[in-house]
Amino acid sequence: MATKRINCWEHKKCGREPGGKNTTELGVCPAATDSSFSGINSGEYAGRFCWAMAGTFCGGEVQGTFAEKRDSCLSCDFFMRVQAEEGTVNLRTKFLRFVSLDAKNTLLNHMSYQHFKKGVRFIIQGEVGDAAYIIQRGSCIVIVEKAGSLHPVGHRGEGDIVGVMSILTGEPRSAHVEAETDMEVWCLKKSQFDDISQKDPDFLDFLTELVADRFDSRRPTADRSIGKYIATDIIGRGGYSIVYKGMHSGRNMPVAIKMMRHDLVMNSDFLSSFRNEAKIIAGLNHENIIKVFDVEERFRTIFIIMEYLAGESLEDMLLRLKSLPLALAADFLFQLCCGLDHAHRKGIVHRDINTMNIFVQHDDRLKIIDFGLACPIGTNDYHPGGVLPYLAPELIDGEAANEQSDIYALGITAYEMVTGKRPYPEDSASLLMKMHCTQDIPDPGERVSNLPDALRSFILKACRRDPAARYRNVPQAMEELRPLARTFASGLPNPETAKENRATLLLSYEDQHREVLNRLLEEFTLKVNELGASLKTYDTSNEE
């Protein structure tokens, strides 16, 4: 029977686990709460990676940082136990899946066999690497150096491969790697890696998935140079992408950098969709739609460089507030209509309007984001798009997306804004689809007693099952909302951002100056925010 793999607090009996006897005096151990280390050494949280965590309790004392305690930790009986237990676990990420480490293996006969002494740093962050290392015996620790500090982010043992990111992507090394114990390794040169990859697609798929998984780390990441941009920290994750906060190195301008996951680049459909997203957003120029500045193709993937947004998703805002003040909901809906109308006029439907893809900036200006499923109006690629709770009935039935399917998703979003809930129960996907197709949404006025008639009417009409009973287009919907938006925008600001003094600025301009003026307004808004004030713009260019 396999030995149960226990966490440090179970071995040391320190009493600092959640609910432990010493938590009142000393608090809960960081190793028991930091979920960014989950999975390392087959552990839950950092309970088997405790030597890398600052503030753990050991030997009767609260320990310091990784750098301060590492020598004593390496001789700890619990550390030694973990090393002994970890040799054959996590085979999903082990190179042993593809290579048997014995002298008869023809692949290994072409590799060099090397020894590293305990404490040797054999991979240096920032250097260009031409080799990866397969561990036959011993273990090592992966350390990111950031802002002058060392951050342990991973651990590799027998059967693991280290340094593979660099030879797969061509980037400089993303971390230091140091031998925790004496190590015996096989050295895989880039030329050998390229040769194996051509002959064995499964091998390449495995290593590409491994690299994608390691890029998705929730621990500190090294800064990365991507053309003229520097990617610093991961700020978002999606099914096919990772989003970094970054900086334009020449202009000192903050940006967001959306990277396609390496394992999906080899899928032509995903690759086409990612390129299409960049092309679509680049063709849209509106204050309520996220902007694309650049596209970089390198390191075996694609990066979309977008404007950096400070704030939170509408989903997170609703989790925090439960529902929105009606004034704010009406203002948000009008902004979303403005953005959608611009996209529709350009012949594009979003297909994925929901609270996750609406970003609320600190001044309550909205941006529609994530155009990964967007397509020309009327496209029928047999992909319904979207998230099921927001999906229009006709899309569930396999019809093509158009303006009215976006309007339906907007109506569900509006219902959620004012009631704090979505209209249908979601315990069963099949039942949810059936309800979308057979029942109109419940009256939001039954949940919100003071819901204005215009807002109630907008939600109900936007969500009609029959597209012919909905608004024909976004401008028609805006006519229903415009009186509310005018009233609320001037008289009922969001109470969280309300200011005592207000000033009105009326800006008249020609259409060819829109882009330049938008940039100037963005710079002005940043300066206004630095003063602790807020600026709200209201675009009347679509009004009759």
Among left, alpha and beta (phi > 0; psi -120 to 50; other), residue 138 is left
Place of tokens 């740093």: 121
Half-sphere exposure of 51 (CA within 13 A, CB side): 23
What per-residue confidence (pLDDT) applies to 147?
Answer: 86
What is the second-level CATH architecture of the domain 91-215?
Sandwich (2.60)
For 272-325, the pLDDT digits (tens) are 888 888 899 999 999 999 999 999 988 889 999 999 999 999 999 999 999 999
- CATH fold for the domain made of 313-498: Transferase(Phosphotransferase); domain 1 (1.10.510)
Instruction: Determine contact, residues 263/205, Cβ cutoff 8 Å.
Output: yes
For residue 311, what are the β-bridge partners? 361
What per-residue confidence (pLDDT) applies to 544?
Answer: 40
Is residue 136 packed enough to be buried (19+ CB in 10 Å), middle (13-18) or exposed (0-12)? middle
Is residue 503 packed enough to be buried (19+ CB in 10 Å), middle (13-18) or exposed (0-12)? exposed
Which residues are marked as active site?
352
Torsion of the alpha carbons at 57, 63, 65 and 70, rounded to the nearest 10 = -90
Decide: helix, strand or coil at residue 328: helix
What gap in Å lies between CA 96 and CA 246, rounded to an integer? Answer: 36
What's this model's pTM, rounded to 2 decimal places? 0.73
Q: In the sheet where 112-116 sits, what is the strand order?
A: 112-116, 183-189, 131-137, 161-162
Output the six-digit token pair for 42.
């087959």
What residues does each domain of the chain span? 8-85, 91-215, 224-307, 313-498
What per-residue confidence (pLDDT) applies to 51?
Answer: 82
CA distances from 192 to 108, 110, 113, 130, 263 (A): 10, 8, 14, 10, 21
Q: Which residues of the chain have pLDDT under 70?
A: 1-3, 87-110, 381-385, 485-506, 508-516, 518-519, 522-523, 525-544
What per-residue confidence (pLDDT) applies to 383?
Answer: 65
What is the second-level CATH architecture of the domain 224-307?
2-Layer Sandwich (3.30)
Residue 410 amino acid letter: L
What per-residue confidence (pLDDT) applies to 176?
Answer: 96
Instruction: Determine contact, residues 307/441, Cβ cutoff 8 Å.
Output: no
